[in-house]
Amino acid sequence: MTVTEDVEIWRTSTPRTSRQSPEAELRSEHTLMRAVLASVETEAQRLARGASLRTEFWADVIDFIGNFVHLCHRAKEERCCFDTVRDEASRAVLDALAKEHKKAEALTFELCGAIESGDWEQTLRLAHVYLHAMRGHMDREESDVFPLLAARFLEAPASEEALRESFADVEEAVLPAGRRAHYVEISRRLAVMTKTS
């Protein structure tokens, strides 16, 4: 994976020293998530061709999805971002996105079970479902929610700093210091593994 400038800024900052706007931070995290999803897609194609289930690959995927996506990124969105734009966004859109988060979490648990049992067919099926669900989900957030953040901050600049502090509180509560670099490294490692297979 080639780290984009926005991901590099995210990786090298801490939750309290981030130079990114909250919208840019979420977009950077989506960029990183899309890179992992691309590796998952490549690995799924490998499985479909009859290759063996590589538990080291999938262990990194589960670490990334379970610990970073669901515990950190999702919490930033649901507990911070969605509340910030609740007045501007459609309640139906925010409710649908929150339901999609819950479905993705359930898929992650199913994927863990399939990997643990060595069931490559179930792993392949769940990977495809997860890829489809998450790509569409991120597209909806980027088109329906994130622009509302930028507009909100133009009208109320103090709310941007408050949201940035809320993001930092979430991240510090769920991720040990230095874990941003860990998740970028996972993304890189997964990309290398799929290129050498």
Q: Are residues 22 and 47 in contact, defined by beta-carbon separation less than 8 angstroms?
A: no
Q: Using one digit for the tens of pLDDT, what is the confidence trace for 136-183?
A: 999 999 999 999 988 888 888 888 889 999 999 999 999 887 788 899
* Secondary-structure class of domain 5-195 per CATH: mainly alpha
Q: Residues 43, 189: contact at Cβ < 8 Å?
A: no
**The pair of three-digit structure tokens given for residue 17, joined into one six-digit string:** 């020293």
Amino acid at 111: L
pTM for this model (two decimals): 0.92
- Write the pLDDT tens digit of every residue in 45-58: 999 999 999 999 99
Buried b / exposed e over 94-106, threshold 16 CB at 10 Å, is: beebeebbeebbe
pLDDT tens per residue, range 12-65: 777 777 778 899 999 999 999 999 999 999 999 999 999 999 999 999 999 999
pLDDT class for 108, splitting at 50, 70, 90? Answer: very high
Spatial neighbors of 23 by CB under 8 A, at least 6 apart, are 146, 147, 149, 150, 153
Q: What is the domain partition of the chain in residue ranges?
A: 5-195
Cα 129 from Cα 32, distance rounded (Å): 19
Among residues 131, 163, 132, 123, the alpha carbon closest in space to that of 145 is found at 163
- Of all residues in the chain, what percent carry a pLDDT higher than 90? 72
Rg (CA), the chain: 17
